[in-house]
Chain A
Amino acid sequence: MKTDHLILLKTVSSHYQVELPFFTHLSEIGLIEIEIIEQSPYIREEQIKDIERMIRLHHELEVNPEGIDVVFNLLQKIDRLEKDLITIKNRLKLYES
């Protein structure tokens, strides 16, 4: 099995000094996807940025995985609203000019 874009979860855990159950918990609530290959858990490389953010929220602000889920949902919502706001601001300019 090709594991080019996969990172062994154990490596991630020791690298960021975070215990494995934290990642399991994140996976259980659907925040990350863990892939099992030959009985070893892996995560996809493109998830790293989000995982780093989750680790920071957990370590630095003591936010638990459920709280992280709430934060991520709200951030996504803000992102959508900001995009809408850009469109509406640009539309408003049509009437102001």
Chain B
Amino acid sequence: MAFIDYYKILEVDKSASEADIKKAYRKLARKYHPDLNPNDKEAERKFKELNEANEVLSNPENRKKYDQYGENWEHGEEYEKARQQQQQYQRGGQQGGFGGGGFSGGGDYSDFFESMFGGGARSRSRQTAAFKGQDLNAELHLDLKDVYTTHKRTLTINGKNIRLTIPAGVENGQIIKISGQGGEGANGGPKGDLYLTFGIANHTNFKLDKHNLYSTVDIDLYTAILGGEITANTFDGKVKLTVKPGTQNGTKVKLKGKGFPIYKKEGEFGDLYISYQIRIPTNLTEKEKELFTELSKLRTI
């Protein structure tokens, strides 16, 4: 358990007045408040630290105790004595502190705080009202193939099984809110929400941009020159394509509606763009060389 420098957290020096501490706390709280920093774990952590520092430094008795035993908190009987005296103190009221509930930053205290001030020193100012529970964040890693169709999945979040419908077309990095699957509410308030961030890995030969898919198909030189039919892969099957005579390398064809499903638009799909890559024959036989030479004499370009 490490010593926590509450002065450093509030960016004040040890001689700071109560007014300085209050000012510093309010300034930093405006910066790191969870309502102003949604889905920001670092801000959430800082806000918790700020609350804890304020709990200690804004109360003269707490501050005195912290200054006296703070850095030597692990040593000696004095600290133990102080801890026992703490029991009486804990029932005293305090001021300041943003109190918990509602946002995810209001709950936990560090081990250092718990061991020095016990659990009762925390002030829960004015929070007798019911507030919505803490919002939770989770990540779900899926394969691109998994999100081609809408499907149901059971997730375990904080030891609880949640059955979810994963809509087709969810994007990599997308965050979906699942109402009522967060922490329990305070004083009978409603449950918080679950924010699920999707990590979608693409192990296919298709590139995905929004809901359009891109792929490359090899065609032989003769089909490119003379035209013909080829079979190409789509994301969920195969299609027959007619290659026009004289097709150039890199030619793109668009297959409307053969792309990826569009999120929350049932039955709607993006497009598939196929680029033709013409394979030039190598290791020619003598006969082939002879014929190509003959052909080359027929045209200059």
Contact = CB atoms under 8 A, between A and B. Distances in A.
Interface in A45-61: 48-49, 52-53, 56-57, 59-61
Nearest to B129: A16
A62 interface: yes
Nearest to B193: A49
A60 B130 contact: no
A60 B126 CA distance: 11
A97 B38 CA distance: 31
Interface of A: prevailing SS: helix
Given A52-B102, A97-B207, A86 B174 contact: yes
Given A52-B131, A61-B29, A90 B208 contact: yes
Interface residues of A, number: 22
B208 A15 contact: no
Contacts of B209: 90-91, 94
Contact of A71 (B36, B98, B126, B174): B36
A92 to B, nearest CB: 10
User: Which 7 A/B pairs are nearest by Cβ-Cβ distance?
Assistant: A86-B173, A60-B98, A16-B129, A94-B207, A53-B35, A61-B30, A90-B172
Given A53-B35, A60-B33, A71-B36, A17 B132 contact: no
B165 interface: no
A57 B20 CA distance: 22
Interface string A76-97: 0000000000110111001001
